[in-house]
Amino acid sequence: MRLWNAIAQANGGVDFAIALTLLLVVPFAIALARRVALRLLAPGIAAALAAATSAWLLLPLATYAAILALEVPPRVDRVAAAVALVALVVQAGLWAHRALSHWLSLRFERTRVQDPQAATTLKLIGYAVQGLLWLLVVLLALDQLGFDVTALVAGLGIGGVAIALAVQSVLGDVFACAAIALDKPFVVGDFIVVDGLRGTVESIGLKTTRVRSLDGELLVFSNADLLKSRLRNFKRMQERRVQFGLGVTYGTRVEQLRRIARWLREAVEAQPKTRFDRAHFKGYGDSSLDFEVVYYVLEPDYNVYMDVQQSLNLAIYERFAAEGVDFAFPTRTLFLRRDGVAPRREPSRREMREAIAVRTQK
């Protein structure tokens, strides 16, 4: 009360009118300028800076401007000046943070297309620079409030140990992020498989990595857990090895069996973007004579592999149909025998087909 009486006695009505005008006009002018700038400026750093301008943080500046128009005790002037400087430092930090984020976002999108590995490193550097920026803002604000920053920084050595023990899981993820950025087991845009979960890496953060699955949902992995898992990176694949098998019936003639491996090789070599490895009569199945084929697709893209495999399947089916070779399917033959009566042999599928053909011709 005495402070207010002292200010009222030292200033007249005109002084209070000027101070009140400054207190009302300055925030209004800042808010109006911000709104106009957001409407007129094209998307860019200038528009980002305008969006980061906070009227609440600039209000202490308006208050300090109003106090300068009045005769106030030195203590009030010092407090108002310190609060205004702290608000200005925080606002400058917001401007710098927004400008840095905008620049990093643009650079990241360009680098992601040209060099995904460099994009991952750029994102980690961005996190580090932003962290240092806000550390600097905090130290400057504390210095303006009269704290001994030198002693505070020295005390961080002891306090940092306690903090590190309290947030060791978070720090583990942060260090894992650094390991991912430096070692690059995967980068943004890579298709990875982790414990049966698969998808494309969208972003690598300080604590988590986000992966977009094939079904569309977002998978979030802890960086530390991700590095501890067995991870398969399909984007680094240079060529895709394909192994598949097929079976033919036991009624297939020996001459045909000898030629099947050659037919399979010819079918593979006729496909573009492939390299034949081998084709063999693998063994005897329960109801089929089994063949195994191995070849390479010279491009890692999964759609290319499926196109090649589809074309290959059709080519094999057409060749086997032309040569009269039947694909096997699970079958079981049962022989029933009565005492004193010889077992009757069931006709094979080929014999049944031939009998039907003869009846049709008649």
Statement: residue 85 has pLDDT above 90: no
Helix axes 168-183, 149-166, angle to 10 degrees: 90
- Global pTM reads 0.50
Q: What's 333's DSSP letter?
A: -
- Separation between Cα atoms, residue 316 and residue 134, nearest integer Å: 65
CATH of domain 176-233: 2.30.30.60
Kindly report which listed range (1-15, 19-33, 199-213, 310-324) carries the lowest average pLDDT score: 1-15
Tens of pLDDT along 167-210? 566 667 777 877 887 778 888 888 899 888 889 998 888 788 89
Common-topology check for domains 176-233 and 237-362 = no
Tens of pLDDT along 324-344? 999 988 876 666 666 655 555
- Separation between Cα atoms, residue 311 and residue 267, nearest integer Å: 9
**Encoded tokens for 78:** 């010092």
Q: What's 327's DSSP letter?
A: B
User: What DSSP line would sit under 117-166, residue for residue?
Assistant: HHHHHHHHHHHHHHHHHHHHHHHHHHHHTT--HHHHHHHHHHHHHHHHHH
**Encoded tokens for 65:** 């401007």
Return the percentage of the chain with pLDDT > 90, whole number.
24
- Separation between Cα atoms, residue 253 and residue 248, nearest integer Å: 10
The reported pLDDT for the residue numbered 79 is 77
Tens of pLDDT along 215-230? 889 999 988 888 888 8
The reported pLDDT for the residue numbered 53 is 76
- Separation between Cα atoms, residue 40 and residue 29, nearest integer Å: 16
**Encoded tokens for 257:** 């069996």
The reported pLDDT for the residue numbered 29 is 75
Mean pLDDT of the chain: 79
User: What DSSP line would sit under 218-262, residue for residue?
Assistant: EEEEEHHHHHHS-EEESTT-SSEEEEEEEEE-TT--HHHHHHHHH
Residue ranges per structural domain of the chain:
2-166, 176-233, 237-362
Phi then psi for 188, rounded to 5 degrees? -60, 130
| Highest CATH level, class, for 237-362 | alpha beta
